[in-house]
Amino acid sequence: MESNPAQIDEFASAIKNKKFYVPVAPGQARVPTAEDAMGWPHFLEGGRTAVKTTGENPGYLLNPTGEFVIPGGMSPPAGTMIFRIGPNGERILERSW
């Protein structure tokens, strides 16, 4: 299935400042591949969140956040939550399954 750039932009706008918790079965999550990234310029192999830099010393800025992908095309598993972070760092639940 091919993604529509307008749909991706709409989704990205809708989830801005949202956090997701998705419980997965052992072995179901995997490190993303270049194919999963669909040409995203900041993608870096190895499952780390990165921002690609340019200029005199190009490279990547990394943070310790690990990235994983899970199979899609199904309803969210029981226990999935969407929340936002409140002004005091608290989780404010917006939806759960």
Q: Is 3 part of a structural domain of the chain?
A: no
In this model, does residue 26 exceed pLDDT 60?
Answer: yes
In this model, does residue 80 exceed pLDDT 50?
Answer: yes
- Tell me the backbone φ, ψ of residue 37, rounded to 5 degrees: -75, -15
Distance set, CA 51 to CA 14, 28, 43, 44, 56 (Å):
22, 26, 8, 9, 16
Contact 89, 73 (CB under 8 A): no
Q: Is 5 part of a structural domain of the chain?
A: no
Position 37 scores a pLDDT of: 87
Position 7 scores a pLDDT of: 60
CA distance 20 to 78: 13
Based on the structure, what is the number of domains in the chain? 2
Position 15 scores a pLDDT of: 62
Q: Which residue has the higher pLDDT, 16 or 31?
A: 31
Q: Which domain holds residue 53?
A: 33-67
Tokens 């490190």 — which residue?
31
Position 93 scores a pLDDT of: 93
Helical spans, DSSP H, in 1-97: 5-15, 34-37
Task: Report residue 32's pLDDT band, with 50, 70 and 90 as the boundaries.
Answer: very high
Q: Is 77 part of a structural domain of the chain?
A: yes
